[in-house]
Structure 1
Amino acid sequence: MRDQQAAEPPHQHLEPLMTFLHVARLGRYTAAADVLRVNHSTVSRRIAALERSLGGRVLARTPSGWEVTALGQRVLAAAERVEDALASLSGDGEQAGRISGVVRLGSPDAFAVHVATPALAALQRASPNLAVELISATQRARQTRSGLDLEIVVGRPQVHRAQAELVMDYALGLYATEDYLQRHGRPRSIAELAGHRLNYYVEAVLTIDDLDRATEALPAMRRGIASTNVLSHVTATTAGAGVGLLPNYVADHEPRLRRLLAEEYAHDLSYWAVGRQEALRNPAVQAVYAALRQRGQRMEDELSR
């Protein structure tokens, strides 16, 4: 029997360990299966095999996804060492080898286009073994971090069993095209915005308090083109559909738009990166956050000039 066990191929032990590492970071079997390109049952079978070999549970199901047990914490540290060793063998140099694998990033639409994508493109040029899956959606910080390595949210979140780090500060401002202003008049005060159309979120489905409060200082305005996608707000405004309540890091670079009442109105906001502790220990996730933070700071500097 010992001879048979000694003859077992190494991947029979390696695959369950690496599968556990992905579930620990993502919190969901299905998300780990997507990254590993296997099905859910394969993930479940590998975790069960790992637990049988160790004689205990490495994961426990909770309302927020799969959480690592005390035994799992020890296994996680070992799995990370194995991952580092494998990466050092396959990379083009020590650091390039460590920055590898797939990182799943959730992000609001405008941030995904104007901040994340350029930052990640530069990171991939330096780390060719890195792949990123970017899922865009504007939503409040969830109490469950499962399914994503890192999530970008608007406003400082209050979450459990997770870590939050600032990415960048920005502000919403009022914008319109010169053609629109010539046709409908240029407001000289906040009060004169009354009667203008406003391009902003669909109020009934807006779940982010920091974004919802942006209209509190404005008078009652006619509804322009309301959308759940901030890029639609920009497009509607550049098309002359009304006054847009837009992120400054997007609108200030649009030559067709003019900032209105900048001295009277600005709604300050911030983007934060949130991730499970297990995911944030991943060198690839750390590199993604650093790239996002670096670009965010650069954009903040440009806006302050």
Structure 2
Amino acid sequence: MDWDDMRIFLAVARADSLSAAGRRLGIDASTVGRRVARLEQALGTALFVKTPQGYALAQGGERLMPHAEAAETALAGAEDALSGPGDLGGQLRIGAPDGCANYLLPQVAARLCEAHRGLEIQIVALPRVFNLSKREADMAIAVSQPQAGRLVVQRLTDYSLHLAAHEDYLRAHPPIREREDLRGHRMIGYIPDLIFDRELDYLAETGMELAQLTSNSVSVQMQAVRAGAGLGIVHDFAIPFCPGVRRLLTEQISLSRSFWLIRHADDRRSQRMNRLADALAQGIRAEVARLQTQVAP
């Protein structure tokens, strides 16, 4: 049995489509389809069932899946054993909420790539929870701790959020000295029905009015605050990127959240993945601390 065919089988099983698997592997969808058909012929059983939603595992595919994943883990272990003690090469795909992906990961990734010239880092910034069982990413950063699944979960760091506005907005509107002064001010926040994690429901926790300007992206919200469109709950670590934005009512409105690093349970047997996780964790902690110290009290 050809491992390359097995690799393609795993990609289709995780992506549920030939085209998505091909994009991940860097080959065209028709080639993926031919390779799957060849593997099915060699094994004498159907591995997938075509459905309106994509490619679902057939009974043969269900039986093959754990063996294919075990082979993948064994191959990764062999690569670990043969790599040098200082080498951290290959590809690493990190899924993260867009606030972390925009304001933290670029600097952290740059330092990792500088230290390990053979390392290729892909940052997937999406406002949703990543599915590691389908290998949408090698690691994911989340704002809440998952409660189910075969996962390795590591707390990365705590971070702070505060009410903030741009100086241009504050000059053009009535002063804000107490909570009561917030009435009548335009609020910026999440689209309520697109909040994918309860930890992101900042306005509900602070008891403020519903937002009039909303987005499912925290980075878009931050840019709206920077543009003087209103008040918003923002990450302290994002403020240094937006000159003129300053915090308000810091004694009365202050939130704390945590970032969690999530990995597939099978990856804990990989020394490479363990070392990458440690390096990523150290980098995130250091970058949050560096940026938050730049914010004026």
TM-score by length of 2: 0.76
Aligned-pair distance for 1:80? 2.5
Match of 1:128 in 2: 117
Aligned-pair distance for 1:286? 3.5
Task: Give yes or no for contact 1:167–1:273 (8 Å, CA) kept in 2.
Answer: yes
> What SS does structure 1 have at the residue aligned with 2:127?
coil
Aligned-pair distance for 1:55? 11
CA distance in structure 2 between the aligned counterparts of 1:49 and 1:164, rounded to whole angstroms: 38
CA distance in structure 2 between the aligned counterparts of 1:236 and 1:70, rounded to whole angstroms: 47
Match for 1:297 among 278, 285, 288? 285
Instruction: Label 1:141 to 1:106 Cα distance change in 2 as closer, same or farther (>3 A).
Output: closer
Counterpart check, 1:170 vs 2:166: no
Match of 1:37 in 2: 26
Task: Give yes or no for contact 1:150–1:275 (8 Å, CA) kept in 2.
Answer: yes
Instruction: Label 1:123 to 1:281 Cα distance change in 2 as closer, same or farther (>3 A).
Output: farther
CA distance in structure 2 between the aligned counterparts of 1:115 and 1:54, rounded to whole angstroms: 46
Match of 2:192 in 1: 203
CA distance in structure 2 between the aligned counterparts of 1:83 and 1:33, rounded to whole angstroms: 23
Task: Give yes or no for contact 2:104–2:288 (8 Å, CA) kept in 1.
Answer: no
Aligned-pair distance for 1:76? 4.0
> What SS does structure 2 have at the residue aligned with 1:134?
strand
Match of 2:86 in 1: 95
Tell me which moved more, 116-125 or 205-214: 205-214
Counterpart check, 1:248 vs 2:236: yes
CA distance in structure 2 between the aligned counterparts of 1:154 and 1:201, rounded to whole angstroms: 15
Match of 1:4 in 2: none
Match of 1:114 in 2: 103
- Identity, % of aligned positions: 27
> What SS does structure 2 have at the residue aligned with 1:106?
strand
Match of 1:189 in 2: 178
Instruction: Count residues in correspondence.
Output: 282
Instruction: Label 1:134 to 1:219 Cα distance change in 2 as closer, same or farther (>3 A).
Output: closer
Q: Root-mean-square deviation (CA), in Å? A: 3.7
Counterpart check, 1:84 vs 2:80: yes
CA distance in structure 2 between the aligned counterparts of 1:214 and 1:168, rounded to whole angstroms: 22
> What SS does structure 1 have at the residue aligned with 2:214?
coil
Q: Tell me, which stretches of 5 or more residues in structure 1 are unaligned?
A: 1-11
CA distance in structure 1 between the aligned counterparts of 2:172 and 2:125, rounded to whole angstroms: 35
Q: Quick one: which amino acid aligns to residue 198 of structure 1?
A: M
> What SS does structure 2 have at the residue aligned with 1:216?
helix
Q: Quick one: which amino acid aligns to residue 86 of structure 2?
A: Q
How far does the alpha carbon of each residue in 1:46-85 deviate from its partner, in whole angstroms, 9 at most, with x for none?
67888999999999949xx979766456534532244336
Q: Quick one: which amino acid aligns to residue 74 of structure 2?
A: A
How far does the alpha carbon of each residue in 1:219-265 deviate from its partner, in whole angstroms, 9 at most, with x for none?
32561x31122122122112211112111111255331111011111
How far does the alpha carbon of each residue in 1:161-214 deviate from its partner, in whole angstroms, 9 at most, with x for none?
222222221122111122322221221222221211111111232222111254
Task: Give yes or no for contact 1:58–1:71 (8 Å, CA) kept in 2.
Answer: no
> What SS does structure 2 have at the residue aligned with 1:112?
helix
> What SS does structure 1 have at the residue aligned with 2:74?
helix
CA distance in structure 1 between the aligned counterparts of 2:270 and 2:141, rounded to whole angstroms: 17
TM-score by length of 1: 0.75
Counterpart check, 1:148 vs 2:148: no
Q: Tell me, which stretches of 5 or more residues in structure 2 are unaligned?
A: 49-55
> What SS does structure 2 have at the residue aligned with 1:180?
helix
CA distance in structure 1 between the aligned counterparts of 2:177 and 2:38, rounded to whole angstroms: 70
Q: Quick one: which amino acid aligns to residue 117 of structure 1?
A: P
Q: Quick one: which amino acid aligns to residue 202 of structure 1?
A: I
